[in-house]
Amino acid sequence: MNILVSVCIVTYNQERFVEQTLQSILNQNTNFQYEVIIGDDCSTDSTRKIIEDFLLKYPDIIVPVFHEKNIGPLENLKAVYRKAKGKYICHLDGDDLALPVKLQRQFDVMESNPDCVICTHDMRYIDAEGNKVREWTHQKGKFDLNYLYLNLPFFAHSSKMFRNDFMFDYFDELHPQALDIEIHIEQAKKGLIYHLDEELGAYRVDVGISTIGKKINPILPKGLIRAYEKAIFEEKNEIRINELKRVYAKTMLQYARQFYLTNSDYKVFCMLVRKSLSIKFYTLRQLNYYLLMLLPKKIIYNRK
């Protein structure tokens, strides 16, 4: 069997969505063979049973990876990637969806653009019930690592197809709670990113690790801190360093604002404000948030 694309799905306790996710991949219209590798991180709900039912129906396509203990998102990701036989790997989270022409469109782009190591596309945001909330769009084109740093991230993880010719050693150097953007960066060091301005998938909002309830998960800004700190350390050009510092400071302030508006972790909010100011002063809004931070917590942070 000549498998050209390996669809790698990672899931944990996603019984509400994983059936839709798998079916959206099995509904693909392609002129090539593909496999679906799905890693279940020892779910405590019926996620595994749903995968087993699909395996019975599609034994030649579904490749299950069942972990007998919880190993975490990064290790689960590594496990499914390492089993991939395809020329290309298509990543999909267990609560997101692929539109029927996704694989074919991305495969054709990758085949026609040998200078590109990643292909991504626009996404629609959907809620838990599948209703469209808004769009995640970006201009079409080829983009390099520098552009990625300055626009991090400009695509969804579940929109990514990439060449399966990477040495996976860099995974072992990642932080145990590494974000998908940290993986994007390592891969983009090897070539360009081709983005399609076509809505070829759906991204589920407010149900993954990016939020805890309605609050923002602190691992998000902390992952960005690691990414920008590493980029600045590795960069030798002073102009580029200043560009990175400005977008780094701006990103920290944007997250501080989100933490403030959603009543998320107060200590992280304060850390982000201080971090933004310490990196580079670029707007008076930084001072406004710093002054706000100096007020008693019960005044600024326990709002109804």
Local confidence band at 208 (pLDDT 50, 70, 90 cut-offs): low
State the DSSP code for 158: G
Partner residues linked to 203 by β-bridges: 125
Task: Give the rounded percent of residues in the chain with a pLDDT score beyond 90.
Answer: 79
Whether 262 has a pLDDT exceeding 50, the answer reads yes
Whether 210 has a pLDDT exceeding 60, the answer reads no
Whether 278 has a pLDDT exceeding 60, the answer reads yes
Contacts of 78 (CB under 8 A, 6+ apart): 168, 171
Whether 299 has a pLDDT exceeding 90, the answer reads no
Question: The whole model's pTM is what?
Answer: 0.90
Q: Where are the domains of the chain?
A: 3-204, 215-300
Please give the pLDDT value at position 167.
64
Local confidence band at 304 (pLDDT 50, 70, 90 cut-offs): very low
Kindly state the average pLDDT of the residues 201-228: 80
pLDDT tens for 51-94 read 999 999 999 999 999 999 999 999 999 999 999 999 999 999 99
Please give the pLDDT value at position 170.
74
Kindly state the tokens that stand for 228: 């920008």
Kindly state the average pLDDT of the residues 3-24: 97
- Omega before 296 within 30 of 0, i.e. cis: no
Kindly state the tokens that stand for 279: 């990196």
Q: Are strands 62-66 and 33-40 parallel, antiparallel or unpaired?
A: parallel
By C-alpha distance, which of 54, 103, 100, 62 is closest to 80? 62
**CA of 186: how far to CAs of 171, 183, 191, 257, in Å?**
9, 5, 10, 28
pLDDT tens for 128-165 read 888 889 999 999 999 999 999 999 889 999 999 999 97
Contacts of 159 (CB under 8 A, 6+ apart): 120, 121, 122, 123, 200, 201, 203
Q: Count other Cβ atoms within 10 Å, centred on residue 36.
A: 25
Please give the pLDDT value at position 207.
63
Whether 10 has a pLDDT exceeding 90, the answer reads yes
Whether 302 has a pLDDT exceeding 80, the answer reads no
Q: Are strands 116-126 and 132-136 parallel, antiparallel or unpaired?
A: antiparallel
pLDDT tens for 225-258 read 999 999 999 999 999 999 999 999 999 999 999 9
Whether 4 has a pLDDT exceeding 70, the answer reads yes
Q: CATH for 3-204?
A: 3.90.550.10
Rounded-to-10 torsion of CA 43, 49, 53, 54? -10
